[in-house]
């Protein structure tokens, strides 16, 4: 997918227009509250967060309002948004930062990539994560059973949840709710807390 695809019109349609946006604006603060609470429950620190595909910065707002001492870094592929919000420009496939993060967020990004690049992206996310990954991606089942296809971008590549779980399991263990812990994360999981 080329950078020009993610232009002003794309964000206007899928994020700003109340009739065609992909989610309610209240979604991110509620989701952030769940994630931050769960990580606290597991005893994991939340000193820094990396948001890969940071878009309009909705996560940044939630992080600063709910965890004001947490440092935030955003990576964005869209040239339009990088100019508008001064994000670091990069691709989930090959961006490289010199540090690891307590939480890495990757929401609605991987479905735009061919499978080969998605494998590289998952590996790259693992390289930058020392705690938890929050991953949201549209799967084949989601597309057919959960998505409002009039409001969801159809320029995506659909893979099965089984495919994602298999590839993620090379680096992470699933703990539900779209959260994955790196395999060596210092957290005690009771048997039924893992998926």
pLDDT tens string, the chain, 195 residues long: the values are: 666 777 666 667 666 566 666 666 678 999 999 999 999 999 999 999 999 999 988 999 999 999 999 999 999 999 988 899 999 999 999 999 999 999 999 999 999 999 999 999 999 999 999 999 999 999 999 999 988 777 777 889 999 999 999 999 999 999 999 999 999 898 888 888 877
User: Which pLDDT score, from 0 to 100, does residue 191 have?
Assistant: 84
Distances (CA, A) of 144 to 79, 149, 181: 31, 9, 28
Cα dihedral sign, 140-141-145-148: negative
The Cα–Cα gap between 14 and 7 comes to 11
Distances (CA, A) of 102 to 7, 59, 99, 149: 30, 15, 10, 34
Q: What is the pTM of this model?
A: 0.90
User: Which pLDDT score, from 0 to 100, does residue 121 have?
Assistant: 98
How distant is the alpha carbon of residue 66 from its chain centre? 18
User: Which pLDDT score, from 0 to 100, does residue 189 have?
Assistant: 84
Q: Residues 135-147: pLDDT tens digits?
A: 999 999 999 998 8
Burial per residue of 168-178, b for 16 or more beta-carbon CB atoms within 10 angstroms, e otherwise: beebbbbbeeb
How is residue 16 annotated by DSSP? I
Q: How many domains is the chain partitioned into structurally?
A: 1
* CATH of residue 84: 3.40.50.150
Residues in the chain: 195
| CB 122, CB 135: distance < 8 Å | no
Domain containing 126 equals: 3-193
């Amino acid at each position: 997918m080329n950078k020009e695809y993610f232009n002003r019109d794309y964000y206007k349609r899928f994020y700003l227009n109340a009739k065609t946006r992909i989610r309610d604006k209240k979604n991110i603060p509620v989701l952030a509250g769940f994630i931050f609470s769960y990580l606290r429950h597991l005893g994991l620190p939340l000193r820094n967060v990396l948001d890969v595909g940071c878009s309009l910065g909705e996560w940044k707002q939630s992080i600063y309002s709910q965890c004001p001492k947490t440092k935030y870094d955003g990576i964005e592929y869209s040239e339009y948004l990088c100019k508008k919000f001064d994000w670091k420009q990069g691709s989930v496939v090959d961006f490289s930062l010199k540090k690891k993060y307590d939480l890495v967020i990757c929401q609605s990004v991987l479905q735009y990539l061919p499978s080969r690049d998605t494998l590289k992206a998952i590996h790259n996310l693992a390289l930058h994560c020392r705690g938890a990954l929050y991953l949201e991606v549209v799967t084949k089942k989601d597309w057919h059973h959960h998505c409002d296809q009039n409001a969801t971008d159809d320029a995506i590549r659909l893979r099965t949840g089984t495919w994602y779980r298999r590839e993620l399991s090379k680096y992470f263990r699933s703990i539900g709710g779209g959260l994955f812990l790196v395999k060596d994360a210092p957290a005690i999981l009771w048997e039924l807390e893992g998926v």
